[in-house]
């Protein structure tokens, strides 16, 4: 955040406010920090901005889920998981035994479950391509962020990534059901021919009957398509 530029007196007040009184933590240790730039260099500089200031700050009003009295920690704690490794994983005045293991990123797209399932499967393939590039440290449309800073390689503890959405399974479900519907029609017509032949003892009439049944099914499916309706689970 370019607006987060605490000076020495601000930092002294912050340390007192959050009761950070360790002997090795004073306002002077942050003299080498360069605030207002991205990325923030130095573990202690980042810890001051993120762990102390940002996490305890109120949720911004620009957030669609804004509610009075909720801070950033309360809002984001359900999206980030860290594991206590038992050993310090960082250096500086704010050593931590926590190691980030996984986090959730929610993405709002224009895709809907009512989209054609063929398009939905293309969406899925596109997301699979994206996560493959993430885990393999491959550049996308750009190798730098909006600030012109090169992207860092994916940490080894975060190389596993998956895309989850209920809509994707529904798209593949529709494809499978439709395929099975065509197979079911073929089996039904074959069984109808056998039964009609046994019942009438006339294979020619049975063949005509099966053709008529097949034409009815084709007309129903054709009418549905001409009306712009989709062949989905109900039709199958």
pLDDT tens per residue, range 162-219: 888 878 888 888 888 888 888 888 999 999 999 999 998 899 999 999 999 999 988 9
pLDDT at 195: 93
Query: Residue 88 and residue 101: Cα distance in Å, rounded?
Result: 15
Q: Which two tokens stand for residue 170?
A: 């529904």
Q: Which two tokens stand for residue 117?
A: 């399932």
Residue from 87, 104, 108 nearest 96 by CA: 87
Identify the band that residue 35 occupies on the pLDDT scale cut at 50, 70 and 90.
confident
Identify the band that residue 15 occupies on the pLDDT scale cut at 50, 70 and 90.
confident
Its pTM stands at: 0.57
pLDDT at 231: 67
Chain-centroid distance of CA 19 in Å reads 38
pLDDT above 70 as % of the chain: 84
Helix (H, G, I), strand (E, B) or coil at 140: coil
pLDDT at 66: 86
120 burial class (0-12, 13-18, 19+ CB within 10 angstroms)? buried
Instruction: Determine which of 2-6, 38-42, 128-132, 186-190 has the lowest per-residue pLDDT on average.
Output: 2-6
Query: Residue 190 and residue 144: Cα distance in Å, rounded?
Result: 61
Q: Which residue has the tokens 């923030």?
A: 40
Q: Which residue has the higher pLDDT, 216 or 31?
A: 216
Is the pLDDT confidence value at 99 over 80? no
Q: Tens digit of pLDDT for each residue in 60-82? A: 888 888 888 888 888 888 887 77
Is the pLDDT confidence value at 139 over 90? no
Identify the band that residue 98 occupies on the pLDDT scale cut at 50, 70 and 90.
low
Instruction: Determine which of 87-91, 136-140, 225-229 has the lowest per-residue pLDDT on average.
Output: 87-91
pLDDT at 211: 93
């Amino acid at each position: 955040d370019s607006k987060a530029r605490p000076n020495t007196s601000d930092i002294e007040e912050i340390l007192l406010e959050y009761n950070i009184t360790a002997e090795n933590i004073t306002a002077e240790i942050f003299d080498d920090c360069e605030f207002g730039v991205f990325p923030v260099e130095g573990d202690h500089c980042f810890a001051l901005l993120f762990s102390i200031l940002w996490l305890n700050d109120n949720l911004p009003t620009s957030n669609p889920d804004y509610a009075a009295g909720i801070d950033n920690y309360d809002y984001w704690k359900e999206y980030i998981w860290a594991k206590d490794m038992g050993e310090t994983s960082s250096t500086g005045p704010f050593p931590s035994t926590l190691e980030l293991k996984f986090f959730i990123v929610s993405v709002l797209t224009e895709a809907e479950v009512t989209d054609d399932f063929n398009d939905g499967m293309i969406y899925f393939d596109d997301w699979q391509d994206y996560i493959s590039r993430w885990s393999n440290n491959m550049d996308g449309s750009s190798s730098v962020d909006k600030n012109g800073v090169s992207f860092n390689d994916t940490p080894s503890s975060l190389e596993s990534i998956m895309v989850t959405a209920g809509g994707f399974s529904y798209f593949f479900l529709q494809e499978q059901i439709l395929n099975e519907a065509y197979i079911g029609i073929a089996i039904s017509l074959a069984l109808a021919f056998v039964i009609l032949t046994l019942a009438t003892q006339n294979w020619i009439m049975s063949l005509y009957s099966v053709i008529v049944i097949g034409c009815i099914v084709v007309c129903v499916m054709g009418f549905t398509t001409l009306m712009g309706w989709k062949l989905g689970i109900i039709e199958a």
